[in-house]
Chain A
Amino acid sequence: MAKRILICGVGALGSTCVMFIRNVDAELRLVDFDRVESKNLSAQWFVKQSVGKNKAEAVRLQLANFYGGKAEAITSRLEATNAAKLLEGCDLAVDCFDNADSRLVLSEACRAAQVALLHGAIAADGTVGLVRWDERFVPDREDVEGQATCEGGEHLPMIGLVGATLARTIQDFLKDGARNDYLVTLSGSVQTS
């Protein structure tokens, strides 16, 4: 029976990761409440036809139309009140959120539901990223509220590196349950655990 993976946030990291795991033997459940804006096209895996659509629905449509892939799109925000429901039947959750509060809500829900949780995170200046399992992850907060993010497009190479590392880590987990952590820089990735 295929595993089910919940991808939490399909913006920069999440949409890129989905692109790289589109061929794994798993059912994908995508959750994101946000909508695609034209500025997202430079750093996220969306096309012009996606602008205006909900991000989870846009990724679902792209998987279906370009690759014949299937995914389930959840267009609401993951919160403490619905996290357990969204995690139902999932073997793995992947955190690609953009804020510490959402990451903490997801961590708590995954621990309660005993669902494996993998985090992906990237620095504001696009120079470093982390792929780390929940048991060793502490979310970082922004230095200042509203700090500039990776949406401008200049950090696309780093987004690609972290998204690909997330995808490989997911593959390894699906294959034999491995839980490897990585530090990702522009010169490559280093396994840290």
Chain B
Amino acid sequence: MTILNITYQGRSADYHLDLDHGTSDADIRRIAVEVVRSGGVRGLHLPNLAMSTFNTFVVDRLRSPNGEQRIYLRPKVPFGSR
């Protein structure tokens, strides 16, 4: 079981899913749109979310402090200073 965390418009929510080995970043973005549209992500239900919404988002694959596999789908964060 993998936890997919989706951050969109300042909101962030988890979704538990079974992933095949080698699931691509494009697959993750497509799955995220589907589960957000369907209402499967608690606190992040957007039935009319565009298919391209996450096209520029970054997919981070990390191991959480308690050892579980987590995938973070988030907007780019290019800025810090200017």
Residues of B within 8 A of A9 (CB): 80-81
How distant is A19 from chain B, measured CB to nearest CB, in Å?
15
- Stretch in contact with the other chain, from A60-68, A82-90, A93-101, A108-116: A93-101
Residues of B within 8 A of A99 (CB): 78
Whether B79 lies near A149 (C-beta < 8 A) is yes
Whether A183 lies near B80 (C-beta < 8 A) is no
Q: Does B76 contact A (CB under 8 A)?
A: yes
Q: Does B23 contact A (CB under 8 A)?
A: no
Q: Does B54 contact A (CB under 8 A)?
A: no
Question: Using a Cβ cutoff of 8 Å, how many contacts connect chains A and B?
Answer: 109
Chain A interface, >50% SS class: loop
Q: Does B9 contact A (CB under 8 A)?
A: yes
Task: Say which size band chain B's interface belongs to.
Answer: 20 to 34
Q: Does A122 contact B (CB under 8 A)?
A: yes
Residues of A within 8 A of B70 (CB): 192
Which single residue of chain B is at the shortest CB-CB distance from A180?
Answer: B65
Residues of B within 8 A of A81 (CB): none
How distant is B47 from chain A, measured CB to nearest CB, in Å?
21
* Interchain CA distance A151-B8 in the complex, whole Å: 21
How distant is A35 from chain B, measured CB to nearest CB, in Å?
12
Q: Does A13 contact B (CB under 8 A)?
A: yes
- Binary per-residue interface labels of chain A (33-58) against chain B in the complex, 1 for a CB within 8 Å, 0 otherwise: 01000000000000000000000000
- Binary per-residue interface labels of chain B (1-22) against chain A in the complex, 1 for a CB within 8 Å, 0 otherwise: 0000101111110000000000
Whether B72 lies near A192 (C-beta < 8 A) is yes
Whether A95 lies near B10 (C-beta < 8 A) is no
* Interchain CA distance A128-B5 in the complex, whole Å: 13
* Interchain CA distance A190-B12 in the complex, whole Å: 9
Residues of A within 8 A of B50 (CB): none
With beta carbons under 8 angstroms apart, the residue of B7, B58, B62 that contacts A140 is B58
Whether A140 lies near B76 (C-beta < 8 A) is yes
Which single residue of chain B is at the shortest CB-CB distance from A140?
Answer: B76
* Interchain CA distance A10-B82 in the complex, whole Å: 8
Whether A97 lies near B81 (C-beta < 8 A) is yes
Residues of A within 8 A of B10 (CB): 127-128, 185-187
Whether B75 lies near A12 (C-beta < 8 A) is no
Evaluate whether A143 and B5 lie within 8 angstroms (CB atoms) in the complex, with A14-B81, A193-B63 already known. Answer: no
Give B residues with C-beta under 8 Å from A: 5, 7-12, 56, 58, 60, 62-65, 70, 72, 74-82
